[in-house]
Amino acid sequence: MKQITVTVNGTVYELQVKSWATLLDMIRDDLGLTGTKEGCGLGECGACTVIMDGKTVNACLVLAPEADGKEIITIEGLSRGGQFHPVQEAFMEQGGIQCGFCTPGMILSTKALLDENPNPTDEEIRRDMAGNFCRCTGYTKIFESIKAAVRKGDT
Amino acid sequence: MVTLYRRLPRVEYVQPKTIEELLALRAQYAGKGALLAGGTDLMPKLKRREIEAPGCLIDLKGIPDLAYISNAEGDGLRIGALATLRAIETSALIQATYGILSQTASSMASVQIRNRGTVAGNLCNAVPSADTAPPLLALDATAKLMSQKGERIVPLDDFFIGPNKTVLSDDELLVEIQVPRVLPHSRGVYLKLTQRSSMELAVVGVAVMVSARNGVCENIKIALGAVAPTPMRAKRAEAVLRGQHFSEELIEHTARTAAEESRPIDDHRATQEYRRDMVEVLVKRAVIETISP
């Protein structure tokens, strides 16, 4: 077992983790934050996307011990005082959700994209979201949700 | 049928704090310790049980300052072992002087993967389709390898010895990638043939660096990916054009020669014949792109 100190959604945790546990295992099983989903488990689908030190990562490919000293944001960490994050609002308003499994990853990738580039072009949106798969339907509503989130940032 | 376990095998994990400590662990574990940088290739391989579980994962990320991208003395680019693909893609220094590298990095996988995956890791995994290899070969890059016995500089052209095989030995670390200064009047491009526009491996990858003046090809480097057991230079093709005036006929001859030099295989992504044809198409297209205004 490894002793790690990790900040998740602003709370500091001291945890004992197996050296072969992933960050995803830690978030879901040790912290009970099941908003982060396991899709492919291989870094292809983006369902497990979380933000680590400001950058999106596939939590299924990061070892829990590698997260020692890091700051993690999961989908549970976006709302503030009962208020949804503007990106979450945008996805709800535009119906950018069907089954919901890809949604936490989609929203966190959108947040990271807009933090870095508040006014992305359509092409930049499509390119930067390439690592988040939706298997329900097309990407039209998701794309529209991201465009709506961009507009919210403008106001 | 690939069995998907999704759980990692039981492995130990160590995070040395200095290069010396890491090299000692490398020597101590010999073949039983795997280096861990971004983990974006290693983790899926371990989860799929494609490789035997190493006794220990030796994480480089405890060593400070290995993620550098520098051109300190203006004598060439130095990329540290932990520089991520995303850093290469977004570095102003690389975009300004080695645009082919940022262009290549941006073509790889997803933002999430590029935030973790490293150039050095892409080279050390040594798949024939490794995207960073053709542009670095065309840039005449070298790899600095270190072990407790000392260090050696290996031209990238000699680094790959087969699919998933490099000259890196069990006690060594690829600590830095060195890229010489680019000649004036040089331009380069990496063309990657894929079925989708992203999240895709190269079916064929072609990197071309050309220095041209007054319609003459002063120098040219052509490197190919996914069409031989290792990424490779197409040196006979380069010789066709080097020192000559550019003409459509010569460029076509160069492209045909590169296709002849390639040694592709049939697999589920493309046939040998198709890959060879595409080498010709892409080399021609790449050379024309580098000399177009």
Return d(Cα B180, Cα B185) in angstroms, integer: 15
Q: Which of B139, B155, B180 is the last residue of a domain?
A: B180
Q: What CATH number does residue B269 fall under?
A: 3.30.390.50
pTM reported for the whole predicted model: 0.96
> Which residue of A lies nearest to B114 if distances are taken between CA atoms?
A57
Cβ–Cβ under 8 Å, residues B15 and B61: yes
Same domain? For A98 and A64 the reply is no
Chain A contact for B285, CB < 8 A?
A: no
Say whether B199 and A56 touch across the interface (CB within 8 A).
Answer: no
Question: A95 and A49: one domain?
Answer: no
Minimal C-alpha gap between A44 and chain B (Å):
8
In chain B, residues with a C-beta closer than 8 Å to the C-beta of A37 are none
- Nearest CB to A20 within list B11, B44, B116: B11
Smallest Cβ distance to B59: which of A21, A49, A66? A66
Enumerate residue ranges in chain B where pLDDT < 70. 1-5
Is residue B123 one of the residues assigned to a domain?
yes
Residue B5 is predicted with a pLDDT of 66
Q: Is B1 exposed, middle or buried (0-12, 13-18, 19+ CB in 10 A)?
A: exposed
Q: Is B216 left (phi over 0), alpha (psi -120 to 50) or beta?
A: beta
Q: For residues B69 and B83, is the Cβ–Cβ distance under 8 A?
A: yes
Question: Is some CB atom of chain A closer than 8 A to the CB atom of B15?
Answer: yes
pLDDT at B3: 58
Nearest beta carbon to residue A19 from set B6, B13, B86: B13
Task: List CB contacts of B130: < 8 A, sequence separation 6 or more.
Answer: B122, B123, B225, B231
> A47 and A95 in one domain?
no
Same domain, B174 and B75: yes
Q: Are residues B213 and B278 in the same domain?
A: yes
> Is B4 domain-assigned?
no
Domain boundary among A77, A109, A129: A77
CB nearest to B13's CB, from A49, A60, A63: A63
* CATH number of the CATH domain containing A71: 3.10.20.30
CB atoms within 10 A of CB A96: 25
Question: Which residues contact residue B56 at a Cβ distance below 8 angstroms, ignoring those fewer than 6 apart?
Answer: B11, B12, B13, B14, B25, B29, B32, B33, B34
What is the reported pLDDT for B44?
96
Q: Tell me, what's the pLDDT at B34?
A: 97
Q: Tell me: do B277 and B205 sit in the same domain.
A: yes
Examine the domain organization and report whether B132 and B216 are in the same domain: no
For residue A97, the distance in angstroms to the closest alpha carbon of chain B comes to: 21
- Which residues 6+ apart lie within 8 Å of A58 measured at CB? A43, A46, A48, A49, A131, B40, B112, B113, B116
Distance CA B61, CA B38 (A): 9
Query: Is residue B37 included in any domain, yes or no?
Result: yes
CB contact under 8 A, A131 and B10: no
Q: Which residues of B118-140 are buried (b: 16+ CB within 10 A; e: fewer)?
A: bbbbbbbebbbbbbbbbbbbbbb
**Per-position pLDDT tens, chain A of length 155:** 999 999 999 999 999 999 999 999 999 999 999 999 999 999 999 999 999 999 999 999 999 999 999 999 999 999 999 999 999 999 999 999 999 999 999 999 999 999 999 999 999 999 999 999 999 978 999 999 999 999 998 76
The number of distinct structural domains making up chain B is 3
CB contact under 8 A, B39 and A22: no
- Output the domain CATH number for residue A115: 1.10.150.120
Distance between CA atoms of A28 and A30, rounded to whole angstroms?
Answer: 6
* pLDDT recorded at residue B184: 80
Output the average pLDDT for chain A: 96
User: In chain A, which residue's Cα lies nearest the Cα of B6?
Assistant: A41
Separation between Cα atoms, residue B290 and residue B286, nearest integer Å: 6
| Boundary-marking domain end, from A77, A105, A138 | A77
Mark yes or no for CB contact B11/A22 under 8 Å.
no
B281: CB partners within 8 A, 6+ apart: B255
Q: In this complex, is the C-beta atom of B48 within 8 Å of any C-beta atom belonging to chain A?
A: yes
Contact A63 B39 (CB under 8 A): yes
Picking from A50, A77, A104, the residue at the C-terminal end of a domain is A77
- Is A153 within 8 Å of chain B by CB? no
A22 touches chain B (CB under 8 A): yes
Q: Which CATH number fits the domain that encloses residue B89?
A: 3.30.465.10
DSSP annotation of A28 reads: I
**Residue showing tokens 């000692």:** B24
Residue carrying structure tokens 């798949």:
B127
Structure confidence at residue B31 (pLDDT):
87
Q: Does residue A61 sit at the B interface (CB-CB below 8 Å)? A: yes
A:B CB pairs within 8 Å: 88
* pLDDT computed for residue B30 by the predictor: 87
Number of domains in chain A: 2
Instruction: Name the residue facing B112 among A19, A22, A58 (closest C-beta).
Output: A58
Give B43→chain A minimum CA distance, Å.
Answer: 6
CA-CA distance, A22 to A52, in Å (whole number)?
14
Structural domain that includes position A60: 2-77
In a domain, B7, yes or no: no
Q: Are residues A114 and A133 in the same domain?
A: yes
Residues B209 and B175 in one domain: no
What ipTM did this prediction achieve? 0.97
Q: How far is A30 from chain B (nearest CA, A)?
A: 16
A68/A93 same-domain check: no
B50 touches chain A (CB under 8 A): no
Look at residue B283 in the predicted model and tell me its pLDDT.
Answer: 98
- Determine the pLDDT at residue B74: 76
Domain with B152, as residue range(s), is: 69-180
Q: In this structure, what token pair is assigned to residue A81? A: 């005082």
Q: Which residue of A has its CA nearest to B10?
A: A20
B83/B43 same-domain check:
no
